Amino acid sequence: MTSLTQLLKHSVVSKKPISESVYTSLLDEQEKLFLPIQNMAKKAQYLHFKNQVYIRGLIEISNYCNNDCDYCGIRCSNKAVQRFRLSDEDILTCCKKGYALGFKTFVLQGGEDLLFDVDRVSKLIRQIKKEFSDCALTLSLGEKPAEVYAEWKKEGADRYLLRHESANSNHYAFLHQSPVDQKRGRTAIYRQNCLYTLKKLGYQTGAGFMVGTPLQTNQHVVEDLLFLQDLQPEMIGIGPYIPHPETPLGKISPIPTPTQRFHKTLYLLSLLRNIHPRALLPSTTALATLIPGGREKGILHGANVVMPNLSPEKTSNKYEIYKNKLNTGSESANGLATLSKALESIGYEINKGIGNYV
Ligand code: 5AD
């Protein structure tokens, strides 16, 4: 074992923060460390989760968005998207369907849609928590004032996902350079503060970032890892960047090859499993979309969550944050059986528990 992996092990065991220079070396030596770090990750994963993979039912409630992220297919400037918004009834039907299949977590995810205002979401939270009282409810609805996060927590929301996207202010600004976002004052710090607020309010909080965005350097990723080390989120969502041709960044920018983005994502999943051993780490749809078998590969590198889509068929192909986004089709019992088989083939199984952070 190299001294770097020993250093990493030592920091984790003694719960000491990892220094910037160690993070830099870990990233710079990806090729050499890939297998040892993966093996360490698998050990940590087994120690805390055995061979169990949690499932979360994802419900995409709206693709209307007030933001204009330069990488995202549902940015407000993209006029080519067919917009949709689920009714409250649709959303509850999705939960019912999911509950019957054994889901114990529902994730309401959407663009920053003003029509899903504080009161409407509060009412939804009340209804869902009342009807499915043994389930966890996760929100993923973007940047909101602290009062709104507090209100939703009070109504019963348990978890919140908000990727920080990039902890480096310049890179964040590059990814959010459109006049709309600039005018709204979207900055890395604002985004990070939302996450600190969510943590303080008692949400199980999820941060994360994309791997292989245009101009992303190892130094940027080091800053992402340092931010995560400081925040100590319960969930960390990372996935490869996949260009969307209808976005400014998707049109022109040179990026690492799909294989490079794939491997770097896997390496980072393994690193994160080591650094945050008990964190809930999804093997993302982006990973599965980029390379066939990607979802299973994610699990084999330390991920322990998958998020099948429970959205209604009529809208599930419209939430196109990147091109050709996979529709895992797990909304049917059939889909879940397929997922179960895929996991079995690599020695893992679905755990239908609530899967809180412990
Ligand atoms: N490729 C990969 N991931 C993307 N996201 C948005 N656009 C893309 C893209 N083109 C991610 C962002 C966002 C999450 C919901 O999806 O990180 O937070």
pLDDT of 328 above 70: no
Rounded distance between C-alpha atoms, residue 252 and residue 71, angstroms = 11
Average pLDDT taken over every residue of the chain: 95
pLDDT of 293 above 70: yes
pLDDT of 322 above 70: yes
Provide the pLDDT for residue 315.
Answer: 82
Encoding tokens for residue 166?
């990039």
Encoding tokens for residue 323?
């091109």
The reply to whether ligand 1 has any atom less than 6 angstroms from the CB of 64 is no
pLDDT interval class at 99 (50, 70, 90): very high
Q: Which atom of ligand 1 is nearest to the CA of 140?
A: 15
The reply to whether ligand 1 has any atom less than 6 angstroms from the CB of 103 is no
Rounded distance between C-alpha atoms, residue 36 and residue 51, angstroms = 19
pLDDT interval class at 326 (50, 70, 90): confident
pLDDT interval class at 186 (50, 70, 90): very high
Provide the pLDDT for residue 107.
Answer: 97
CA of 148 to the centre of ligand 1 (A): 23
Report whether 260 contacts 31 (CB < 8 A): no
Provide the pLDDT for residue 207.
Answer: 98
Q: Which atom of ligand 1 is nearest to the CA of 163?
A: 18
pLDDT of 1 above 70: no
Encoding tokens for residue 138?
């996760």
The CATH number of 31-351, from 3.20.20.70, 3.50.50.60, 2.40.10.10, 3.30.930.10, is 3.20.20.70
Boundaries of every domain in the chain: 31-351
The reply to whether ligand 1 has any atom less than 6 angstroms from the CB of 172 is no
Site to probe by mutation for ligand 1, drawn from 68, 321, 323, 324 as the one with most ligand atoms within 8 Å of Cβ, is 321
The reply to whether ligand 1 has any atom less than 6 angstroms from the CB of 175 is no
- Look up tokens 């964040």; give the residue: 172
Rounded distance between C-alpha atoms, residue 221 and residue 212, angstroms = 10
Residue of the CA atom closest to atom 16 of ligand 1: 321
Q: Which atom of ligand 1 is nearest to the CA of 72?
A: 7
User: What is the share, in percent, of the chain residues with pLDDT greater than 70?
Assistant: 97
Q: Is the pTM of this model over 0.75?
A: yes
* Eight-state DSSP code of residue 165: B
pLDDT interval class at 330 (50, 70, 90): low
When pLDDT is averaged across residues 128-139 and rounded to a whole number, the result is 98
